[in-house]
């Protein structure tokens, strides 16, 4: 079983940012760093090789396996700035509409450069997501505590799920369509990809949308998850899908990856691993 590679490390955040080749990306990373410090009141910690995290949040997957993730964070990647935020907080749609030029996936916000967006709106998005996660999952602990803590005791308070699982499929589905249509792909192709992966028929897929099933329920009810899904490889939100340990999270990211391939113009027979 693959080991979770996204863990807090002792690497220097300052050194990581200083080593960014692109001067604009490096400058934007410093601005983003200051913004997160202001919002969270926490000091940054490197998670894995490229994620700058603030605090940590403990979660439990449907399998019972537990883990930690940054309570908030971003990554200044070569292609874009990636902010780990979703839209499961009050006023999200209105804020994203005012943000400026950006792209979204299930729980990632992609910005090419900070000059493309309204920074006050970006700050509000980060702050509201951080507050929402803290409200649902308790006050995030310092990441350093995760690095030195041992096994957690059984019992006590119920650990929260990863916030992605609370999102409804009906809230994500339009994002998939928008992403595809911006690249001259169609809703029908999006549906074909989803049905291939999950085994849903068109009527069953529409039913799940109308029921506003959350992602955990959507995948749990999938009639037949495609056995060729294991052939899907690559990076989504900075993580290689084939390295994801939890089965449910891996299914979510499989679908993200397929939609990415569709939007990038990949032939349908290649997307469907034929």
In this prediction, residues 245-269 reach a mean pLDDT of: 91
Range 162-190 burial, b when 16+ CB lie within 10 A, else e: bbbbebbbebbbeebbebbeeeebeeebb
Note the pLDDT of residue 156. Answer: 36
- Judge whether residue 97 has pLDDT over 90: yes
The answer for residues whose C-beta is within 8 angstroms of residue 129's C-beta and 6 or more apart is 72, 85, 86, 88, 89
- Walk me through the domains of the chain, giving residue ranges and CATH numbers: 13-148 (3.90.1150.200), 168-271 (1.10.8.290)
pLDDT of residue 137: 56
Do the bridges between strand 81-83 and strand 109-111 make them parallel or antiparallel, or are there none, so unpaired? Answer: antiparallel
pLDDT bracket for residue 270 (50, 70, 90): very high
Give me the pLDDT at residue 153, please: 37
Q: What digits encode the pLDDT tens for the residues 194-237?
A: 999 999 999 999 999 999 888 888 999 999 999 999 999 988 87
User: What are 117-171's pLDDT values in tens digits?
Assistant: 999 999 999 999 888 877 665 444 554 444 443 444 333 334 445 667 778 898 8
Q: Measuring CA to CA, how many Å separate 181 from each of 57, 188, 197, 210? A: 35, 10, 20, 22
Rounded CA gap, 56 and 44, in Å?
A: 11
Q: pLDDT of 60-79, one tens digit each?
A: 655 566 777 888 999 999 98
Q: What is the pLDDT of residue 146?
A: 41
Q: What is the pLDDT of residues 32-56, one digit of tens each?
A: 999 999 999 999 999 989 999 999 8
Q: At 98, give phi and psi (nearest 5°).
A: -95, -10
């Amino acid at each position: 079983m693959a080991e979770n590679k996204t863990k807090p490390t002792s690497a220097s955040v300052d050194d990581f940012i200083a080593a960014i080749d692109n001067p604009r990306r490096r400058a934007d990373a410093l601005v983003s760093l200051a913004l997160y410090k202001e919002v969270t009141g926490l000091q940054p910690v490197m998670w894995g090789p490229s994620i700058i995290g603030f605090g940590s949040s403990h979660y439990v997957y449907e399998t019972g396996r537990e883990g930690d993730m940054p309570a908030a964070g971003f990554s200044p990647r070569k292609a874009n700035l990636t902010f780990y935020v979703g839209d499961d907080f009050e006023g999200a749609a209105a804020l994203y509409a005012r943000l400026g030029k950006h792209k979204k996936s299930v729980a990632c916000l992609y910005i090419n450069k900070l000059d493309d967006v309204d920074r006050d709106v970006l700050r509000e998005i980060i702050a509201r997501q951080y507050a929402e996660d803290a409200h649902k999952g308790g006050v995030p602990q310092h990441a350093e505590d995760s690095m030195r803590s041992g096994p957690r005791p059984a019992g006590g308070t119920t650990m929260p799920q990863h916030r992605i699982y609370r999102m409804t499929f009906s809230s994500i589905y339009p994002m998939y369509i928008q992403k595809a249509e911006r690249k001259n792909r169609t809703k029908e192709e999006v549906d074909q990809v989803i049905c291939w992966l999950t085994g849903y028929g068109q009527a069953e897929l529409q039913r799940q949308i109308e029921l506003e099933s959350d992602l955990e329920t959507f995948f749990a009810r999938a009639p037949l998850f495609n056995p060729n899904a294991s052939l899907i490889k690559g990076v989504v939100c900075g993580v290689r899908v084939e390295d994801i340990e939890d089965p449910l999270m891996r299914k979510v990211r499989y679908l993200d990856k397929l939609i990415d391939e569709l939007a990038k113009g990949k032939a349908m027979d290649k997307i469907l691993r034929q």
